[in-house]
Structure 1
Amino acid sequence: MSYPARQVNSPSRVVVFAFLAAVLTGTALLSLPVAVAEGEETSWTSALFTATSAVCVTGLAAVDTAGHWTVFGETVILVLMQIGGFGIMSLASILALLVSGKLGLRARLSTQAETQSLGPGEIRRVLVGVAKVTLVVEAVTAAILTTRFVTAYGEPLGRAAYHGVFHAVSAFTNAGFALWPDSVTRFVRDVWVCLPLALTVVIGGLGFPVYIALRRHWRHPSRWSLHAKLTLGMTAILLFGGAVAITVSEWTNPATFGPLPPGLRILAGFFHSAMTRSGGLNSVDTSQMHENSWLISDVLMFIGAGSASTGGGIKVTTFALLGYVILAELRGEPDVTAGRRRIPEHLQRQALAIALVSVAAVVAGTLTMMMITPFPLDRVLFEVVSAFGTVGLSTGITADVGAGGHLVLTVLMFIGRLGPATLGTALALRVQTRRFRYPEERPLVG
């Protein structure tokens, strides 16, 4: 029995080591003098932090992205975002298909482990479809942004195109990097910048299986898979519910939404809600938000985006399944059902395990950061949840947490990008049928 276990676990290990190799390669490239602007210095912790943030599509920055890095350094970050967002094993599989037209068993299993819900037989067809969606969405967003930068802000076409492509990739991959020191706060009044970025983040956060369901049955929602229905439903609830909560909380805040006209306050609330799904860009100064807005953001960032997407968090389907488990228990029902479908017990256990492990990681990270930094709980918790959820929003303390804090956040970003997904895959692959059952005994609960 030990041999199959080793075979099953190898794809997850390949994915982890592939991401680690990408992080280390990015760190080496960002440490080169050609990557750093004149007069700036880059420590290895800053390079490691930035590379991890890019590969794990987080967006937290220890240094000013626009001022610290040269065009070469920014290009490295752009490539790392695209690789991390699309998926290292997915990208490698696409290259293998293009070069040889074949995909080996190890590559199929590794890609299946990374994309979570795809069967080995579907990998070839699905990867091509995912590549098309990625390129089309990024190209459309880049075109809109480029046009806006040229016509409304007078930027030269080359620079506008560079900014358009960079931020389109940053949005679709849910990376959250920006080429301005204030993120995109200068565009808080510009619908043609904020809305395309927000919608691109939402599309990137839906996940590959949802794209497949929509492509197959986009005219017949009744035929969508339960996963697609849960993802789209929870995304809508969290997106618009979060927008309402944030807008109400910040409506009169003179440092954020207060100076804006009512329509733009609603846009800013929608934008922030979309970015907490794992987008990471900010159109207002997050550090000036009310504490209750930070708490609302913490919840949204922890839940995150869709499974097998570019976003992070415990995923909306995990959150939804836990809700159905609670609902079934309150009703005293023997089975957990969603959309007239019964949820297998092992999926319920996976959802519970992922949620509890994620809570443990956030608590441990918060305690560690509280001990090594001088910042209060609300700011530290926000930073930790943002790192673990691979979001990239910050209350302004990222650059000041020191080397120790950067290392803690680096570990959290890496775990957040791979931990819950890898844990879920490992649990799913280890489902076994036992030939016997132990005697039942019921400890007291609650």
Structure 2
Amino acid sequence: MRRGAWRTLRRLTPASGSPARGVVAGFAATIIVGTVLLMLPVASERGEPTDIVASVFTATSALCLTGLAVVDTGTHWSTFGEVVILALVQAGGLGIMTLASLLGLLVSRRFGLRMELTAQSETRSLQLGDVRKVVVGVISLSIVIEIVVAVVLSTRLMLGYGYRFGDAMYSGVFHAVSAFNNSGLALYSDSMMRFVDDPWITLTIACAVLTGGLGFPVLFELGRRLRRRHRGRWSLHTKITLITTGALLVVGFAFIAVSEWDNERTLGVFGVPTKLLAAFFAAVMPRSGGLNSIDTGDMTATSLLAQDVLMFIGGGSASTAGGIKVTTFALLAFVIIAELRGEPTVHVMGRRLSDGVQRQALTIALLSAGLITVTTMTLLTVTDFSLDAVLFESISAMATVGLSTGITPHLPPTAQLLLTLLMFIGRLGPVTLGAALALRERPRRYERPKERPIVG
């Protein structure tokens, strides 16, 4: 059963010998192609070749849906270069959502979406028909949402800002794709700061980021219930994702609003409606959106720390968002609650969590924290920037968010290459590691005698 499913995914990556290695090789090859295209003179506004460090950083940031940049996207790159970046963002978004959905389907055999998502769920196998359904579903859903967002943005730019039709459509499409795929890249040097008081722009982009950050399984189940008004049981994955996402959004909004309310460099200069709008936008973007309507570098240390936490958690599984994922965070919270209560097993919303899932969540969280720590210490060694700025940049790269305090372009090439590697690991690591850990589970033939070391 498991072997048959594994063989199906192997057929999708024949050269790699395994799905995980095939995915990593495919993303690496795409980054190389993107780097070569961005190094061409035609890709820059000045008609000159872009150096390899900036090109590989930009290609990785775009494909891995991060949004960090060492050169200004709107002024450095020509239309050709911007189209290359947009293509990388779209390929990365579709690839990640499809990959995560397929691997999740392979691991869990079902997402709680019953027969609509996998016709073979009852036989506990993954067939080519299931692969086709997931791929078509991801592509169709992504394109529809991006078109809707692009139409709203383009219309607003024409009617509210006097953009010509072609310019409005170009900007609308670029930022719709960027927002839904949580890439954090913008054509404007100030990101979305010029639209800080415009709810048509900022709320549309925020909704696109939130939608892309929920993940295909959740969106599929929500759409299915809206179409058919199904009243059956919600899947555990969907419930955890929606509840945790909502809770983090409310907490983040309140925290940032309070911390920045009187800060004259951020929210302090605006009226109450704009303050609330900007605080909401700032609370959404650490989920992996990466855009900003107020200057992140001017935010208080308290707000930066709050965003560090939100970036580290990230968005939903099988989504375009990064981080350790809200499900991982929620499961670890349930483990802690069960331990504090002295309960022998962990129960979540009427279901018992297996020991394997708990170990996987802990492994992903600790490995991510370890990589961020090593990167932060390295950057502190090779640069003169403060701990707040360096830690923020490291988490943003690892969680593929794209928010920045503004230090990335000023880092030495070695530090920029380190962040490039971190972006690559941060995008593919949690997805492939989570699947690999689950698929490598095997029963023990014997157990050792128990012993309990002193803890704490």
One-letter code of the match for 1:270?
Answer: F
**1:8-407 → structure 2 map (5 Å cutoff):** 10-38=18-46, 42-87=50-95, 90=98, 112-113=102-103, 119=109, 120-121=126-127, 122-218=130-226, 219-220=229-230, 223-407=233-417
CA apart distance, 1:178: 0.3
- Counterparts of 1:417-436 in structure 2 under 5 Å? 417-436=427-446
Whole-angstrom CA distance in 2 between matches of 1:286 and 1:211: 30
- The letter of the residue matching 1:54 is A
Give the conservation status (yes or no) of the 8 Å contact 2:100–2:319.
no
1:392 deviates by 0.3
* 3-state SS of paired residue (1:246): helix
For the residues of structure 1 that align with 2:231 and 2:253, how far apart are their CA atoms? 25
The normalised TM-score by structure 1 is: 0.92
Distance in 1 (CA, whole Å) between partners of 2:400 and 2:280 is 19
Aligned-pair CA distance for 1:288: 0.6
**Alignment partners' CA distance in 2, 1:39 and 1:254:** 40
Give, in whole Å, the separation in 2 of the partners of 1:245 and 1:277. 15
Shift of 1:435: 2.4
In the TM superposition, residue 41 of structure 1 has moved relative to its aligned partner by 5.1
C-alpha distance in structure 2 between counterparts of 1:340 and 1:359, whole Å? 30
CA distance, structure 2, for counterparts of residue 70 and residue 266 of structure 1:
36
How far is 1:437 from its partner?
Answer: 1.6
CA offset digits 1:232-279 (Å, max 9, x no partner): 111001112101111111001111111111111111111011110000
CA distance in 2, matches of 1:118, 1:62: 40
Return the offset for 1:213. 2.0
Contact 2:102 2:134 in 1 (8 A): no
**Which amino acid in structure 2 is aligned with residue 142 of structure 1?**
A
Query: Structure 1's 368 and 115: CA in aligned 2 closer, same or farther, altered over 3 A?
Result: farther
Kindly indicate whether the alpha-carbon contact (under 8 Å) linking 1:256 and 1:289 is maintained by their aligned counterparts in 2: yes
Distance apart, 1:29 and its partner CA: 0.5
Partner of 1:102: none
Which stretch of structure 1 is more off in the superposition, 31-40 or 45-54? 31-40
Following the alignment from structure 2 to structure 1, what is the Cα–Cα distance between the partners of residues 106 and 395?
23
Structure 1 distance, partners of 2:377, 2:147, is 42
How far off is 1:433 after superposition? Answer: 1.7
* Partner SS for 1:87: helix
Paired with 1:221 and 1:319, the residues of 2 have a C-alpha distance of 28
Residue 32 of structure 1 aligns with an amino acid whose one-letter code is L
Displacement of 1:426 after TM fit? 0.6
Letter in 1 for 2:310: L
The alignment-based identity, stated in percent, is 54
- Cα distance between partner residues in 1 of 2:401 and 2:100: 25
- After superposition, where does 1:411-422 map in structure 2 within 5 Å? 411-422=421-432
Kindly indicate whether the alpha-carbon contact (under 8 Å) linking 1:15 and 1:88 is maintained by their aligned counterparts in 2: no
> AA paired with 1:112?
L
Unaligned runs of 5+ in 2: 11-16, 110-125
Paired with 1:89 and 1:340, the residues of 2 have a C-alpha distance of 28
Q: Which runs of 4+ in 1 moved over 6 A?
A: 6-9
Residue 222 (structure 1) shift: 5.8
Equivalent position SS for 1:181: coil
Paired residues of 1:217 and 1:224 also in contact (CA < 8 A): no
Q: Any conservation in 2 of the 1:116–1:421 contact (CA below 8 Å)?
A: no
Q: What per-residue deviation string (whole Å, max 9, x for no partner) do you get for residues 159-200 of structure 1?
A: 100000000000000001000111110000111000000000
Aligned-residue Cα RMSD (Å) equals: 2.0
Write the distance in 2 (CA, Å) between the matches of 1:154 and 1:285: 25
CA distance in 2, matches of 1:186, 1:430: 49
Query: What is the identity, as a one-letter code, of the residue corresponding to 2:153?
Result: L
3-state SS of the aligned residue for 1:249? helix
Residue 208 of structure 1 deviates from its aligned partner by 1.3
Do the aligned partners of 1:243 and 1:273 also contact (CA within 8 Å) in 2? yes
Shift of residue 148 of structure 1? 0.4
Unpaired runs of 5+ residues, structure 1, are 91-108
Question: Any conservation in 2 of the 1:15–1:113 contact (CA below 8 Å)?
Answer: no
Cα pair 1:117 1:308 within 8 Å, conserved: no
Q: In 1, distance between residues paired with 2:108 and 2:346?
A: 23
Whether the 8 Å CA contact 1:65–1:179 is kept in 2: the answer is: yes
**Displacement of 1:112:** 2.4
Partner amino acid, structure 2, of 1:85: G
Q: Distance in 1 between matches of 2:404 and 2:101?
A: 32
Q: In 2, are the aligned partners of 1:204 and 1:309 still within 8 Å (CA)?
A: yes
Structure 1 residues 114 and 433 mapped into 2: Cα distance closer, same or farther (>3 Å)? closer
Structure 1 residue 39 displacement after superposition: 6.3
Deviates more, 1:18-27 or 1:118-127: 118-127
Report the alpha carbon displacement of residue 431 of structure 1 after superposing the two structures with TM.
1.1
Give 3-state SS (helix, strand or coil) of 2:262's partner. Answer: coil
TM-score (ref. length: structure 2): 0.90
Residue identity in the other structure for 1:352: L
Shift of 1:297: 0.4
Distance 2:420 2:104 in 1: 20
